[in-house]
Amino acid sequence: MSLLEIENVTLRFGGLVAVDNVSLKVEEGEVFALVGPNGAGKSTIFNLISRFYDPAEGHIRFDGNDLLKSTADQVPSFGVARTFQNIELFEQATVLQNLLVGRHRHRQTGMFSNIIFSPKTYREELRHRAAVEEVIDFLNLQPYRDKMIGGLPYGVRKVVELGRALAAEPKLLLLDEPASGLSVEETQDMAFWIEDIQTQMGISVMMVEHDMGLVSAVSGRVMALSDGKELATGTAAEVQSHPAVIEAYLGTGDISKTGTSRA
């Protein structure tokens, strides 16, 4: 059984078929990449897994659970964490507080226990903070720990968002364009982190990325999409040389050169 199974999923926005009969599987321990031109439906697939949208047809299963039976806020409890293409952090909170919200799925105390800060709440807080501190060390976020998100540079925000997802200790990490807008060095850091996440933490990764350098460096299998339809699946090299993929990128330039410059 695969970790994530998407089966013949279709989603329409009015007349537009954003995702057209797509099937894919993400195996435990792999890094799976989705590539494709703008508007191909990559982020929409993430939003389907997150249950922000209801597919018109198809099935989505995660770790043996039928995700379509759950609501968006139940998805994290199965072990799915994600980042967003346009960074969605809690702006008026510190980095530390953002990462702590990532721990939400592990919370064990309720409102009344929190209000009096019962010993149980106290112990739980210590556990959350220990876990978050590990993420801060892993991503070298110490200098920003107590800074408000509002004042942080773009590159750091991207890392904080990754950290918030990691703090959830997920089984599957969904990364929507983790390297977009990052400098060459920052992209390299990101590549190392994704490798460590896979090999050391044993977390499976599904990512959308335009930077083919990053994609070929970290991912095992790659799926190319265009206009909501699957074009090809295989290794990065196979997909890049696939005729259908080359044709889809015609007019937008070489597949290997797209991506990094766009916002």
Partner 1 sequence: MRFVFKTSYYADISLFKHRAQAVWYALLLLLVLGTPLYFVATGDAYLLGEITGMLILAIAGMGLMLLTGHTGLPSLGHATFMAFGCYLNINLLGAGVPWLIAFPLSGLIAGVLGTMIALPVLRLHGVYLALATLAMSMLTSDFVVIAEPWTGGIAGAAVPDINIFGMEINRYSTPYKFYYLVLFVAILLVWFYRNLLRSPTGRSFTAIRDSEISARAMGINLTRTKAMSFFLSATAAGLAGALFGHSAGYVTNETFDLVMSITLLLMIVIGGLGFIHGAFFGAIVVGIIPVAIANGRTFLATTFDVNINVPGLESALFAFILVCFILFEPMGLYGRWLKIRTYFELFPFYRKDMFKRQKSYLKTDRVQ
Interface residues toward ligand ATP, by CB under 6 A: 13, 16, 18, 36, 38-44, 85
- DSSP assignment of 197-233: HHHTS--EEEEE-S-HHHHHHH-SEEEEEETTEEEEE
Give the one residue of 2, 21, 70, 85 binding Mg ion; rule: CB under 5 A: 85
Instruction: Answer yes or no whether residue 232 interacts with partner 1 by CB under 8 A.
Output: no
Shortest Å distance, C-beta 170 to ligand ATP: 21
| Number of shown-chain residues binding partner 1 (CB under 8 A) | 53
- Pairwise CA distance, residues 152 & 148, whole Å: 7
- Let me know: does 52 contact 256? Beta carbons within 8 Å: no
- The residues, any chain, with a CB within 8 Å of residue 60's CB and separated by 6 or more, are 4, 5, 6, 7, 9, 48, 49, 66, 67, 68
Instruction: Answer yes or no whether residue 198 interacts with Mg ion by CB under 5 A.
Output: no
| Phi (first) and psi of residue 25, to 5 degrees | -130, 135
Shortest Å distance, C-beta 254 to partner 1: 26
Interface pattern 78-107 for partner 1 (x via CB under 8 A): ---xx-xxx-xxxxxx--xx--xxxxxx-x
The residue among 140, 145, 149, 236 whose CA lies nearest residue 193 is 140
Indicate the length of the chain as a whole number.
263
**Partner residues linked to 204 by β-bridges:** 172
Give the one residue of 126, 184, 201, 250 binding partner 1; rule: CB under 8 A: 126
Instruction: Answer yes or no whether residue 138 interacts with partner 1 by CB under 8 A.
Output: no
Shortest Å distance, C-beta 151 to partner 1: 7
Residues that bind partner 1 (CB under 8 A): 43, 47, 50, 52-53, 71-77, 81-82, 84-86, 88-93, 96-97, 100-105, 107, 109-111, 114-117, 121-122, 124-126, 128-130, 133, 150-151, 164, 168, 176
